Structure 1
Amino acid sequence: MKINHLTSAEENLMKLFWKLQSFYLKEVMEHHPEPKPHQNTVSTYLKILVEKGYLSTEKEGRIFRYSVIVPLEDYKKFLLKELSLNFFNNSGKEILEFLFNENLISQNDLKTYFDLKIEMKPVKIKQPKLEYAEEILNPKKDKKGKDKKKKKKKNEN
């Protein structure tokens, strides 16, 4: 089954639909949080989501009953794969590094989930060399001796 991209509005409605699983338009309007969209707007989105393959319809008299076809877990997998491909060079390692750097996941999270002995070592940042500051703070004593030798060589020539 090919999963298509959703707009943010479609995704927000799908979050409600994944909770309901099977529903009528009237139930969507009842369960939608405030501010509620107009019924025609919701009806249009339902039609679009049926066309995109996220919902199916079953006619019951004069009304339609909608059912979710694409499970939430499949949509999450789709989004994560797209994110990985487009932003992390299709690398799980890069995703994990990003999650650690942004403090979205911790070492303890991984330990409890995988039950592994993982030790994260802090990244060592190389201290910049401050050559000029070193010269000023710790002047070399040999400089004067070198200057005298240079003068002697010049005088000899």
Structure 2
Amino acid sequence: MRITSAELRVMDVLWETAPLGAAEVVAALKDSEWSDRTVKTLLARLTDKGALAAEPEGRRYLYRPLIAREAHRKDAVSRLSERLFGGRAAPMVAHLADGQGLSETDLDELEALVRTLRGEQDR
């Protein structure tokens, strides 16, 4: 499922705290300069896409994510990798390293990840 950058800001609010009503989401995004109507439109789009559930509570709806943040990240990275790097991870990591550089901590984490992945493949 494709989630736009604007929709992702709404999802981030709900991944942090859910369920929330539309007014609470609007309040959490007060620095965005979006109108109440814009936030409600984004909530409706996300509900239509199946990313959010809208459950009635009195005269309002409470929204909660139907997809986990990590599942969304995996899907988004997979689509990006497929589109730009033919689905291959190594060229993507090399591109990120070349463009942004890697700290010693980043390198240590990547080495640990490779060791873990190699251990899992040997089983």
Q: Same fold (TM over 0.5)?
A: yes
Unaligned runs of 5+ in 1: 119-157
TM (norm. structure 1) is: 0.64
**Aligned match of 1:95:** 92
Determine the structure 1 residue equivalent to 2:121. none
Structure 2 gaps of 5+ residues are: 116-123
Higher deviation after alignment, 105-114 or 74-83:
105-114
Which region of structure 1 is more displaced relative to structure 2, 40-49 or 7-16? 7-16
Query: Do residues 16 (structure 1) and 19 (structure 2) align?
Result: no
Instruction: Give the 5 Å matches for 1:19-34.
Output: 19-34=16-31
Larger Rg: 1
Q: 1:19 to 1:116 in 2, by over 3 A?
A: closer
CA deviation after TM superposition for structure 1 residue 39, in Å: 1.5
Report SS of the residue matched to 1:58. Answer: strand
Aligned pairs (5 A) from 1:8-157: 8-106=5-103, 108-115=105-112
Q: Describe the superposition over 1:33-58 as per-residue Cα deviations: whole angstroms up to 9, x where unpaired.
A: 32432222211211111010110011
Fraction of identical pairs, as percent: 27
Task: Give the match's secondary structure for 2:67.
Answer: coil
Aligned residues: 115
**Matching of residue 6 in structure 1 with residue 8 in structure 2:** no
TM-score (norm 2): 0.80
Of Structure 1 and Structure 2, the greater helix share is in 2
Could you list the runs of 4 or more consecutive aligned residues of structure 1 that deviate by over 4 angstroms after TM superposition?
none
CA distance in 1, matches of 2:53, 2:101: 36
Q: Is the 8 A contact 1:100 1:106 kept in 2?
A: no
| 1:105 to partner: Cα distance | 2.7
Question: Quick one: distance in 2 between partners of 1:48 and 1:117?
Answer: 39
Contact 1:110 1:116 in 2 (8 A): no
The one of the two structures with greater contact order (alpha-carbon pairs below 8 A, sep at least 6) is 2
